[in-house]
């Protein structure tokens, strides 16, 4: 029988032999594969899209009661129950499903795996805008905290899906923080931007910044004008060095910052649909975008951007576009 060393001595020898190791960092491919089975997250907004979370519109849209028109708000609305619908007429669920299904088919044809949310609260018809609940960064996910009470609770379905997939959760926005994914973008692997406004406050941005700081990613803050909700209504990366922008909705300093970083800014033409910037890059320079944005489509084609125009007008009626209704979880590095 081997000799038994004194307890404290043996313990310390074990601790020296099996010492803690801070390196490699959590989000490195080596550590991700060892602990989590694969590399998770996104360090850019344009690399080949591999995994995306969506929610097919369904029975939750029957919450909209056509007898509840609110003249002051110009929308179908129940202030007490906490829902509103701004679309022309009530939801055409079948047409929304058809267009949503077409987007799924395009994504799969472009090499992305699509995962659907489950156990969605029956009255939460804004859940289709999955981007707002989950933000993927290198190594894992940030679970957001939605601003409006009409949407509060959508985060739970997103959290269950991320956990089901085995993706690490790096942070859940908590306390008085508010942060929605539609107001977040990665300009490159070392720079992100957040839109501060009605759906993201400074405390939410601070919590996101804490996560990014550990990865060496800087966070730029753009204060959105008026009651604008998300930055993806004015800024979307579509190639490693190209962004689709609305120069009338973004501050001068940010446009100059993009120029200084060598980012080509393609301006959205005013005659096009308001959802034009709400598009999605599936790989560098290849973008799914609304077919209603004809003038901008022509401009993108001349700029060498490969576009995939799709019909999405009925989904837009819910207040969310192509970018809103897709939550990327994995992209290739660029």
The C-alpha atoms of residue 194 and residue 209 are separated, in whole angstroms, by 10
The C-alpha atoms of residue 210 and residue 281 are separated, in whole angstroms, by 27
Supply the pLDDT for residue 4: 54
The predicted model scores a pTM of 0.94
The C-alpha atoms of residue 298 and residue 290 are separated, in whole angstroms, by 12
221 pLDDT tier (thresholds 50, 70, 90): very high
Q: What pLDDT digit, counting tens, does each position of 86-100 carry?
A: 877 899 999 999 999
Just give the CATH number of 40-331: 3.75.10.10
Q: Is 70 exceeded by the pLDDT of residue 3? A: no
Query: Residues 221-239: what's their mean pLDDT?
Result: 93
CA dihedral 258, 216, 156, 176 (to 10 degrees): -80
Domain residue extents for the chain: 40-331
The C-alpha atoms of residue 5 and residue 92 are separated, in whole angstroms, by 75
Chain CA centroid to CA 316, Å = 17
Q: Is 70 exceeded by the pLDDT of residue 152? A: yes
Cβ pair 173, 207 in contact under 8 A = yes
Supply the pLDDT for residue 49: 98
Q: Is 80 exceeded by the pLDDT of residue 275? A: yes
């Amino acid at each position: 029988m081997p000799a038994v060393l004194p307890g404290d001595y043996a313990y310390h020898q074990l601790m020296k032999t099996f010492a803690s190791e801070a390196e490699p960092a959590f989000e490195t491919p080596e550590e991700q594969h060892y602990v989590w089975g694969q590399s998770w997250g996104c360090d850019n907004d344009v690399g080949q899209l591999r995994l995306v979370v969506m929610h097919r519109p369904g029975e939750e849209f029957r919450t909209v009661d056509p007898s509840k028109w609110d003249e002051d708000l110009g929308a179908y609305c129940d202030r007490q129950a906490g829902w509103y619908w701004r679309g022309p007429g009530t939801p055409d669920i079948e047409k929304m499903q058809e267009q949503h299904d077409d987007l799924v088919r395009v994504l799969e044809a472009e090499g992305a795996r699509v995962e659907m949310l489950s156990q969605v609260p029956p009255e939460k018809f804004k859940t289709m805008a999955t981007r707002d609940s989950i933000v993927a960064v290198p190594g894992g996910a940030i679970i957001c905290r939605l601003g409006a009470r009409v949407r509060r609770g959508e985060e739970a379905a997103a959290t269950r899906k991320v956990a089901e997939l085995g993706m690490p959760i790096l942070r859940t926005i908590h306390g008085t923080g508010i942060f929605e994914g539609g107001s977040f973008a990665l300009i490159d692997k070392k720079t992100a931007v957040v839109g501060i406004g009605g759906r993201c406050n400074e405390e939410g941005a601070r919590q996101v910044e804490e996560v990014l700081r550990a990865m060496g990613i800087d966070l730029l803050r753009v204060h959105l004008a008026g009651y604008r909700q998300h930055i993806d209504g004015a800024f979307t990366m579509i190639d490693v060095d190209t962004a689709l922008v609305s120069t009338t909705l973004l501050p001068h300093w940010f446009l100059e910052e993009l120029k200084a970083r060598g980012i080509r800014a393609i301006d959205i033409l005013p005659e096009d649909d308001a959802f034009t910037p709400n598009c999605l890059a599936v790989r560098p320079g290849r973008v799914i975008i609304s077919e209603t944005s004809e003038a901008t489509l022509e401009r993108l084609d001349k700029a060498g951007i490969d576009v995939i125009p799709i019909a999405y007008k009925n989904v837009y009626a819910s207040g969310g576009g192509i970018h809103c209704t897709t939550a990327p979880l994995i992209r290739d590095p660029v």
